[in-house]
Structure 1
Amino acid sequence: MVPLPSGTVLLSDRRTQRTWPVEVASYRLAAYSVTQAEYVRITGERPSSAPPRDRLPVEGVSWWDAVRFCNALSSFEGLPAAYRIGAESVEWDRSADGYRLPTEAEWEYACRAGTDGPRYGPLDEIAWHRGNSDELPHEVGGLRPNSWGLHDMLGNVWEWCWDVYDAEVYGTYRVLRGGGWFDERWSCRASVRRRSHPTLLLDDVGFRVARGAP
């Protein structure tokens, strides 16, 4: 887990042409997406459609799977659960110190690492995308991290965030960020937002975990 400082990030949405600033408190974010090995160690399951390789990012996991993993990892490490999970809803206990998904603002703030352009480095040096991935996911950490030491914030797999995308238009759909191994260069940018139903399983979608400040 990489400790990140507090700050401000400016979010934007291409569909609605809106921009909005968000204050981000200090927090911790995993340096890598959750891997197949980490997922199977905590859950006993290997849902990925890619061949079994420990350091490949886990994919084929829903948003619900991701929040359940966060609670299971917290339990494994003796930490209070961040989520109260019901049959049809999830509540975030912000006072709990357990693992959780990053908010959308936390995700983009971490991805940018103080930069203000579309990417934190030359795309082929930092991200696996359709142009260089051979249309396959790759092991985490194989490309250059951003200046805060976070790998694969762009490319490889899209990552679930905590936030609802647009409740009025899309209901319970949740935010995805980062672009994936099958995406064109345009999609692998710090500001690009994608949405998906929280129950869907997609072979280019994974997640990484966050915690509050130490």
Structure 2
Amino acid sequence: MVEIPAGEVELRDDRRKIKWTAEIRPFLLARYPVTVGQYDTINEQIRHTSDDELKPVVNISWHEAISFCNLLSQKEGLKVCYSVSSDGEQVICDWESNGYRLPTEAEWQYACKAGTTGYTYGELDKIAWFEINSEGKVHEVGTREPNPWGLYDMLGNVWEWCWDVYDEKVYGSYRIFRGGSWAEEERGCGATCRRRSHPTFCIDDLGFRVAKSF
């Protein structure tokens, strides 16, 4: 986990043409997306081959990512962050918990930019796996250059689920994911690029990384 300092970040929604500023408290963010090996170990299952162990886990829904966070917290003796209703529709986050959780959208963007001001934190071909250089597949984590704060694969390789609801009035329970993927064109792999989908949605270029409050 990497210590992310306090600060603030400006976010924008191009669809609604609005901007807002979010204050960021210090937090911890995983250096890499959750890998296949980590996911299978914590869930005590073998869903993948050994050749995939160091690749980001994909085809994971938002609900599955939340469940992984709680299970990881339990296994480490930490207080879980998420309370889930019996029908699975309502999820409440305890922000004071010492357990694992998904980053907020603001935390994710702030950590991705790592003090830089551009759309990307470096030359995309060097920092990300995307359409041009990925050969149409996901790659092992940590094989591109990190951002200035030592975080790998924040852009490209796999999209990453965030905690936030996108626009409840229009999209209901849709959640946000960030960062672009191996299948995206260059414009889809930027620090401010936003996508969203239903929390049950899963696909072969969407994963997640874990965060933790101090």
Tell me which interval the TM-score lies in, with the shorter structure as reference length.
over 0.9
Query: Over the residues paired in the alignment, what is the CA RMSD in angstroms?
Result: 1.3
Once the 2 structures are TM-superposed, how far is the Cα of residue 6 of structure 1 from its aligned partner?
Answer: 0.3
Distance in 1 between the 2:213 and 2:137 partners? 33
- 1:183/1:46 CA distance change after superposition, 3 Å: farther
1:37 aligns with 2:21: no
Mapped contact 1:47–1:58 kept (Cα < 8 A): no
Task: Give deviations 1:63-122, integer Å, cap 9, x for gaps.
Answer: 000000000000010100011112221110112110000000000000000011100000
Partner of 1:204: 205
Partner of 1:125: 126
Distance in 2 between the 1:204 and 1:46 partners? 20
* TM-score, normalised by the number of residues in structure 2: 0.96
Mapped contact 1:101–1:162 kept (Cα < 8 A): yes
Partner of 1:8: 8
Mapped contact 1:12–1:19 kept (Cα < 8 A): yes
Partner of 2:28: 28
Mapped contact 1:62–1:199 kept (Cα < 8 A): yes
Point out where structure 2 has 5 or more consecutive residues left out of the alignment.
none
Q: Which segments of structure 1 move beyond 2 Å, counting only runs of 4 or more?
A: 44-48
- 1:116/1:47 CA distance change after superposition, 3 Å: farther
Aligned with 1:180: secondary structure?
A: coil
User: Structure 2 counterpart of 1:158, which letter?
Assistant: W
| Percent of residue pairs bearing the same amino acid type | 52
Once the 2 structures are TM-superposed, how far is the Cα of residue 46 of structure 1 from its aligned partner?
Answer: 5.2
Once the 2 structures are TM-superposed, how far is the Cα of residue 52 of structure 1 from its aligned partner?
Answer: 4.6
Partner of 1:154: 155
Distance in 2 between the 1:51 and 1:184 partners? 29
Distance in 2 between the 1:47 and 1:163 partners? 28
Instruction: Figure out how many residues of one structure are paired with residues of the other and give that number.
Output: 212
Distance in 2 between the 1:74 and 1:179 partners? 27
Mapped contact 1:6–1:26 kept (Cα < 8 A): yes
* TM-score, normalised by the number of residues in structure 1: 0.96
Mapped contact 1:47–1:59 kept (Cα < 8 A): no
User: Structure 2 counterpart of 1:79, which letter?
Assistant: L
User: Structure 2 counterpart of 1:34, which letter?
Assistant: V
Aligned with 2:164: secondary structure?
A: strand
Distance in 2 between the 1:82 and 1:3 partners? 19
Distance in 2 between the 1:47 and 1:104 partners? 29
Mapped contact 1:47–1:61 kept (Cα < 8 A): no
